[in-house]
């Protein structure tokens, strides 16, 4: 079992420096593993982490858990919250962890020599009891775990853009296979519309 100092050193190397949110991410990962009874870091797909923000905290999560986007064991749903849900994919038990709002203030009580609020959080978060630092919730994921984790070998071609869609992420609309962007769930708009009038009419059900 690695120490917190070793985990934070790994996170800081990736992040180019150490900051309070990396500490939060690392300690969230460690605490979740303790609650779920799992050893860290993981080299398999037993632990799924869903982070509710990108940025600093994620580097701490990665360093602590070994979960990564590339291994499909880390997902980012950007709700703008330093919070994460940890799921044991064998038992489907899920725990959501979020820092207490008052922790940023009470951290100073655990870092008496700190020269600033930022340094108090950096140092205090490393030693604060988890009961003072985090709120935990037992939760149930809305989507079946089998849909979230993987559908290996599943591939489809979007009828509109012609792009390949993997892992069962296509959408069926009136029997037409669409990628999520063409189904209206995208994050961008194309300047060149390639949808034909025939496909539009089929989608409308005509």
pTM (two decimals): 0.84
CATH of the domain at 52: 3.30.1330.130
Among residues 130, 148, 166, the one where a domain terminates is 148
The pLDDT score that the predictor gives to residue 186 is 87
One domain, residues 27 and 116: yes
| Number of domains composing the chain | 2
Q: What range defines the domain where residue 185 resides?
A: 151-203
In tens, the pLDDT along 5-16 reads: 999 999 999 889
Provide the residue-wise pLDDT of the chain in tens; the chain has 206 residues.
799 999 999 999 988 999 999 999 999 999 999 999 999 999 999 999 999 999 999 999 999 999 999 999 999 999 999 999 999 999 999 999 999 999 999 999 999 999 999 999 999 999 999 999 999 999 999 988 887 876 667 899 999 999 999 988 899 999 999 999 999 888 887 665 555 556 666 666 65
Kindly provide the residue ranges of all beta strands, DSSP E only, lying in 39-162, ordered along the sequence. 47-51, 74-76, 84-88, 93-99, 134-139, 155-157
In tens, the pLDDT along 116-125 reads: 999 999 999 9
One domain, residues 130 and 60: yes
One domain, residues 125 and 198: no
One domain, residues 131 and 114: yes
One domain, residues 92 and 18: yes
One domain, residues 44 and 118: yes
One domain, residues 78 and 25: yes
One domain, residues 94 and 187: no
One domain, residues 181 and 122: no
Among residues 148, 171, 189, the one where a domain terminates is 148
Neighbours of 179 (CB within 10 A): 21
One domain, residues 87 and 132: yes
The pLDDT score that the predictor gives to residue 83 is 98
One domain, residues 160 and 63: no
The pLDDT score that the predictor gives to residue 205 is 67
The pLDDT score that the predictor gives to residue 167 is 85
One domain, residues 156 and 196: yes
Give the contacts of 91 (CB within 8 A, at least 6 positions apart).
36
Give the contacts of 44 (CB within 8 A, at least 6 positions apart).
none
């Amino acid at each position: 079992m690695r120490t917190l100092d070793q985990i934070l050193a790994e996170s800081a190397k990736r992040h180019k420096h150490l900051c309070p949110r990396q500490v939060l991410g690392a300690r969230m990962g460690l605490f979740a593993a303790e609650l779920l009874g799992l050893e860290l870091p993981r080299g398999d797909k037993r632990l799924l982490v869903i982070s509710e923000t990108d940025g600093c905290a994620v580097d701490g999560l990665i360093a602590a858990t070994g979960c990564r986007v590339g291994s499909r064991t880390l997902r980012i749903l950007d709700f703008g919250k330093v919070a994460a849900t940890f799921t044991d994919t064998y038992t489907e038990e899920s725990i959501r962890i979020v820092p207490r709002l008052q922790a940023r203030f009470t951290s100073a009580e655990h870092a008496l020599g700190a020269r600033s609020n930022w340094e108090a959080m950096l140092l205090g978060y490393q030693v604060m009891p988890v009961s003072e630092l985090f709120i935990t919730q037992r939760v149930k994921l809305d989507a079946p775990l089998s849909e979230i984790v993987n559908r290996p070998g599943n591939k489809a071609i979007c009828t509109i853009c012609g792009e390949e869609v993997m892992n069962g992420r296509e959408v069926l609309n009136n029997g037409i296979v669409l990628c999520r962007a063409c189904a209206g769930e995208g994050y961008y708009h194309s300047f060149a519309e390639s949808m034909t009038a025939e496909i539009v009419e089929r989608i409308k059900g005509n």
